[in-house]
Copies of this chain bind each other. A is one copy, B any other.
Amino acid sequence: MKKTEDPRIAATRSAALDAALDILQKEGVFAVTHAAVNKATGISRSTLYRHWPETRRFLIDTFKHASGPTKLEPAANGPLRADLKWHLVHLVNALNESPWGKVAAQIIAAAATDKEAQLLINELMGERFAFVENTFIAAQARNEIASDAPIRQLIELMISVPYFRKLILGAPLDEDWIESHIEFICSLAENSPDYLHEQS
């Protein structure tokens, strides 16, 4: 059994991934190479090859590094509107300010051919979905919204639009937009017509 990890290993891994992430954001996936990280950090190429014998794995680890420690704190148990806004602000911050916003598109693209990337996405998205879902369920329990509200679709609406705007349209996600999006979702959730049952 192993006591503690050699701090040197952690140090090089951390420094290398920091640099790789930086390169990834600034110059794109093609620029993330052992040689480039060596140049940026001074960590010798042979050491980098020992840590990541295959470039693909290096890139995947960089992605994981970018997603960072995902500790989603629980939303306050206020009214639905406040809780949703809290979630949305959290999401928008992640897209606007953390490295995540800049590399998410790369990870998604990688997922097309790399199973690990897809797993990473599933993990992160699953976490966020569950998180928002809990908020809706709590609101149902407080009778703020109908018991048959289309929660799944409301969650998708809430999350997919900011991703789409940011990653695909390149449109800004500012304070005003957050307000209008929340308003849009909340009026749907609160009015809660029987969307799925009143089919013509």
Contacts and interface: CB of A to CB of B under 8 A. Distances in A.
B156 A165 contact: yes
A157 interface: yes
A98 interface: no
Nearest to A168: B108
Interface class of chain A by DSSP: helix
Contacts of A198: 187
A56 B106 CA distance: 16
Contact of A195 (B125, B184, B195): B184
A14 interface: no
Contacts of A196: 180, 183-184
A163 B161 CA distance: 10
A156 B171 CA distance: 12
A28 B112 contact: yes
With a 10 A CB-CB cut-off, give which of A110, A122, A167 has the most chain B CB atoms: A167
Nearest to A79: B200
Nearest to A199: B183
Contact of A170 (B81, B111, B199): B111
Nearest to A124: B168
Contacts of A165: 156, 160
B102 A105 contact: no
A109 interface: yes
Interface of A: 27-30, 81, 102, 105-106, 108-114, 118, 121-122, 125, 150, 153, 156-157, 159-161, 163-165, 167-170, 180-181, 183-184, 187-188, 191, 193, 195-196, 198-200
Closest 10 CB pairs of A and B: A160-B164, A109-B109, A28-B113, A105-B109, A160-B160, A187-B195, A106-B109, A160-B161, A105-B108, A153-B184
